[in-house]
Amino acid sequence: MSTQQVARAFVSLADTFDDTVDPAVLMQRLVAHCVTFTDSDAAGLLMVAARGELRPVAVSDDRDDLLETMRRQAVAGPCVECWLTGLPVQVDDLTSYAGAQPEVVRSALQAGHHAMHAHPVQVGHQTIGVLVLLRADAGPFDADGLHLAAAFAEVTAVALMQWRAQPLLAHDIVTRTQSVISARATLETAKGMLAAHARLTRAQATAVLAGYAREQGLRPGTVAHRLLSRTLPLDEVTGTEAPAAE
């Protein structure tokens, strides 16, 4: 596994502007990358439907036994626990879990899987699905691989939320690019105002603005816009009054 391979995998998960890419492609890429870059033998993705239930949407292999395992996991067991708690659930040996959910676990064991890791797929603080990793051998999964799978899931969740059925037109791209430039200009102007107001360096002003935004649960751009529109006092952000004129 090279750095370039991992980088290409991340790019493929974030590529929502390719006309050949849709949510099904992104989800399939996610489970495929998990098998390639972790020590799992198979992977699946469950998503939360509008009716408040998990549904299988992607598997790394279209084997009947893997599909059946995903269907079972959508009803009860480690994946449902992961969904309800919003926390990863790892079962190093499924035979030890069978006592709690024998019917659910049996399909995984019959398919040859003895270890399972369920990781929540989240947008903000809301869990929208569960990424499932399966392995033939019992025992803990490699920690680095789990971190990478979690990052893959996070990127995919963002991409799914940003995907749109209609591709961006050239005008849309120009408009969005200009919005980025304008937002940056607003941020830089606000930093200059803070620096002049409290006699801060540019770096200090950047830290002050970012710190205030974090404390208030706001985006830095929102704080910058309020500073420029004079709806947010400079003193409130810097915590100091302007120095007296000499």
Give the model confidence (pLDDT) of 82-95 as tens digits: 999 999 999 999 88
Residues 17 and 76 in one domain: yes
- pLDDT > 90 in the chain, percent: 52
Residue 167, pLDDT score? 66
Residues 208 and 113 in one domain: no
Better-scored residue on pLDDT, 158 or 21:
158
Cα distances from 82 to residues 99, 133, 161, 167, in angstroms, run 18, 13, 21, 34
Q: What's the pTM?
A: 0.75
pLDDT in tens, 198-215: 999 989 999 999 999 999
* 245 domain residue, yes or no: no
Mean pLDDT of all residues in 231-239: 92
CATH of the domain at 125: 3.30.450.40
Residues 25 and 83 in one domain: yes
CATH of the domain at 208: 1.10.10
Domain boundary among 162, 190, 216: 162
Domain boundary among 162, 191, 217: 162
Mean pLDDT of all residues in 164-185: 74
Nearest CA to 122 among 83, 148, 89? 83
Domain boundary among 111, 138, 162: 162
64 vs 228: CA distance, rounded Å: 60
User: What mean pLDDT value characterizes the chain?
Assistant: 87
Residues 152 and 177 in one domain: no
Domain extent at residue 104: 3-162
Question: Does the pLDDT at position 242 exceed 50?
Answer: no
CB 25 within 8 A of CB 12: no
Residues 110 and 219 in one domain: no
132 vs 36: CA distance, rounded Å: 14
